[in-house]
Amino acid sequence: MAEQAGFPSTKNQEGKADLGKTAPTGDHVPDPKNLQDLTQYVQTLLQQMQDKFQVMSDQILSRIDEMGHRIDDLEKNITELMTQAGVDEAEK
């Protein structure tokens, strides 16, 4: 299961699966020794994922807003060109 999440999974001397020593970002992650450490590890990992998701979401929304402004400007320019060319709105 740890391998599916992108973490190497090995067995320690007690036969328990280690979650891995290296996070996907390359940071050293201590081996969780007890439930409290594991809980903290998972919470930290989820927070990092949420932060990355929020950054990407903000970037996507910013790009959508920018594209909307560009479309509005394009529509305005087309309307101005049509007016200059003498094309009536009803002829569209």
pLDDT at 9: 46
Q: 65: part of which helix (H) or strand (E)?
A: helix 35-85
How far apart are the C-alpha atoms of 62 and 52, rounded to whole Å? Answer: 15
DSSP β-bridge partners for residue 18? 10
User: Each residue's pLDDT tens digit in the chain (92 positions)?
Assistant: 444 444 444 455 555 555 555 555 556 666 668 899 999 999 999 999 999 999 999 999 999 999 999 999 999 999 999 999 988 665 55
- Token digits of residue 68: 């909307």
pTM of the full structure: 0.53
Q: Under 8 Å CB-to-CB from 65, ≥6 apart: which residues?
A: none
Q: How crowded is the C-beta side of 50, counted as CA atoms within 13 Å?
A: 6
